[in-house]
Amino acid sequence: MTEQAARRTPTLEDVARAAGVSRATVSRVVNGIATVNPSIRSAVTKAIETTGYIPNAAARTLVNRRSGTVALVISGSDGSADQLFRDPFFGRITGGVVQHLRSRTMHPTLMLADSDAARREAVDFVRRGNADGALLVSTHAGDPLPQLFVDAGIPAVLFARPAVPVPISFVDLAHEAGAALAADRLADRGCRRVATIAGPADLPAANGRLSGFQRAMERRGVPYVDVVRGNFTTESGERAMTELLERAPDIDGVFAANDLMAIGALRVLHEHGRSVPDEVALIGFDDSEPARLARPRLTTVAQPVEEMAARMTAILLDQLASPGIGLTSVVFDPELVLRESA
């Protein structure tokens, strides 16, 4: 009997017995409720120490209906799991989320939603009470995930505006403004024969960058911009640049919708003996690690990913704290990071 008691992890009851008070009083002390006699409080505190008591999270959650966890759902096109996590983007988002949550003593649980089953599982995870809400990082167009969460009535916030209209809060970047920054830089350098390597046509972010670039270039007196679509990979950047060089050998400025495509373009330009930035100026988007490592170092449009992720988290926590608070969307401003390529 004593042996059993010694082996079991101590409960409130054990602490109460050790301190000679009731379970309720120990609970009050543990939860920092003020209306406890100081001498009793210290007796309880001591009993907690000696017993090595630690509150049971499940029991608390059962009563409180709060898990202290949020689901961080990474949604990729089906079957793209491995590739997803290699993207430094993901790491930066995670970092921003963790940083914001930790000060609130909350933690993110990571989920991958790359199939119908996985999406359902993600929703059920929250419905079962494993998490209080969800942060959705959707990387492809027409992702059904946001709608699933809305339908289930789960508090959720999206990273990047949904491709199809969904009543959900989100954070996003001013993609058009970012592309305009790149356009102005190219124009300032005197580029007249410019092109852009755009992203997939079904992604709002890609389209924003494209139209923003075109519009800003037009404002700067360059009405025609050559456009080739890529899919955000280095290889697609290589293909696109090859095509652009064929179509316009006298090209003198290129804006790629992300850094990886820019690096692909850089390689092709180098192979064709075009010097960057002297003959062709090149600007990327994202300010990712590879941009810093490229030779020449890539001038690029930076998005404050960590900050955006932190804000996304803050919005979710607000919604959890005051249900029915209404939707919020925040659009962040990009910045041009000048390096060597333009």
Partner DNA sequence: GGTCTGCGAGAGAGCGCTCTCTCAGTCTCT
Partner DNA sequence: AGAGACTGAGAGAGCGCTCTCTCGCAGACC
Query: What does the binding site for a second copy look like in residue numbers (CB under 8 A)?
Result: 9, 54-59, 61-62, 67-69, 72, 81-82, 84-88, 90-92, 94-95, 98-99, 102, 105, 107-112, 118, 121, 124-125, 127-130, 234, 260, 263, 266-267, 270, 289-290, 292-295, 306
Spell out, one character per residue from 64 to 93, where the chain touches DNA: x when CB under 7 A holds, - when not: x-----------------------------
4 touching DNA, by CB under 7 A: no
d(CA 229, CA 199): 6
Smallest Cα–Cα separation from 93: which of 128, 135, 150, 154?
135
Shortest Å distance, C-beta 1 to DNA = 13
Q: Of the listed pieces 62-70, 78-86, 207-215, 244-252, which binds DNA according to CB under 7 A?
A: 62-70
Q: Name the residue nearer to DNA (CB basis): 62 or 152.
A: 62
Residue in 6, 7, 32, 35 binding DNA, rule: CB under 7 A? 35
Smallest Cα–Cα separation from 123: which of 94, 151, 160?
151
22 touching DNA, by CB under 7 A: yes
Output the CA–CA distances (angstroms, integers) from residue 20 to 15, 17, 90, in the order listed.
8, 5, 51
Q: Name the residue nearer to a second copy (CB basis): 33 or 59.
A: 59
* Binding-site partner at residue 109 among DNA, a second copy, none, CB < 5 to 8 Å by type: a second copy
Is beta strand 253-256 parallel, antiparallel or unpaired with respect to 226-229?
unpaired
* Binding-site partner at residue 27 among a second copy, DNA, none, CB < 5 to 8 Å by type: DNA
Residue in 1, 6, 63, 117 binding DNA, rule: CB under 7 A? 63
* Residues 336, 337, 339, 341, CA torsion sign: negative
d(CA 199, CA 264): 14
d(CA 48, CA 89): 43
36 touching DNA, by CB under 7 A: yes
Q: Name the residue nearer to DNA (CB basis): 121 or 335.
A: 121
Smallest Cα–Cα separation from 265: which of 207, 194, 338?
194
Output the CA–CA distances (angstroms, integers) from residue 219 to 117, 216, 251, in the order listed.
48, 5, 19
Q: Name the residue nearer to a second copy (CB basis): 130 or 328.
A: 130
Which residues are within 8 A (CB) of 188 and not within 5 positions of it... i.e. 6 or more apart? Answer: none
Smallest Cα–Cα separation from 82: which of 125, 55, 112, 104?
112
Q: Which residues here bind DNA, judged by CB under 7 A?
A: 8-9, 11-13, 20-25, 27-28, 30-31, 35-37, 40, 53, 55-56, 59-60, 62-64
